[in-house]
Amino acid sequence: MRVRGPEAAAYLDRMVSNDVASLEPGDAREALLLTPKARVVAPMVVVRNGAEDFLLLTEPELGERLRAELVRYRFAAKCAIDVERHRSLVVLGGDPPPGAITNCDYGVAAFELLDAEPPAGAEPVAEDELERLRILARTPRYGRELDDRVLPAEAGLEERAISFTKGCYPGQEPVARLHYRGRANRVLRLLAIEAGELPARDAELASEGKVVGRVTSAARDPEHGIVALAFVRREVAPDASLAVGDAPARQL
């Protein structure tokens, strides 16, 4: 999503969860677009290309919805909002070239390139391996961990995508109230599951016969068999015995 114009910085700062007005040209920062009740509409990386020029990187299936939401609230703000399609390439390891965007999704040093070819000598990484690394890094993904049922604090996004010092934005009040006066009822945890098959998304997670959560993502892992991310009730102890169906699960 390209947002540009004399009021682009001020408008985006009123709309997204992180401080983007303070970005210098060439810098990037993660942010969220939230509903007024602080449910996740779209995760994004906001890249500042210039004083009046921002690029919002999000998942392809969210482009039109993100544009519709931004246009709906724009009113008289002097900025244009347009959908753009770019080819994104994530490189694990190596030194990032000028213009690269730091990527923290996989638990290893990585950077993202837009509309560029892979570095010389780079080899492709299988999708299953990327998913395994993402799960081990406890990085939530839209369509798996993130949807309109989820609060940022539940998915562990407060540190990487929320500013508690900037001005208001949609969903700011419930986000701040939960942060300063309460706590999320469920949290995203990493599991090792003893099973032959990967569990389905939203498979129930039980403790002592009581449902205490749901699995959101899973991948095969050479050390743990199957690793998974799951939303688990906060009161469940880190060493509690869990199960997905008949398969034992333990928290890592």
Walk me through the domains of the chain, giving residue ranges and CATH numbers. 2-85+140-179 (3.30.1360.120), 185-251 (2.40.30.110)
pLDDT by residue, tens only, the chain of 252 residues: 999 999 999 999 999 999 999 999 999 999 999 999 999 999 999 999 999 999 999 999 999 999 999 999 898 899 999 999 999 999 999 899 998 999 999 999 999 999 999 999 999 999 999 999 999 999 999 999 998 889 999 999 999 999 999 989 999 999 999 999 888 999 999 999 999 999 999 999 999 999 999 999 999 999 999 999 999 999 999 999 999 999 999 999
pTM comes to: 0.92
Distance in angstroms (rounded) separating the CA atoms of residues 208 and 188: 20
Residue 251 Cα distances to 37, 79, 152, 216, 248, angstroms? 30, 47, 21, 14, 10
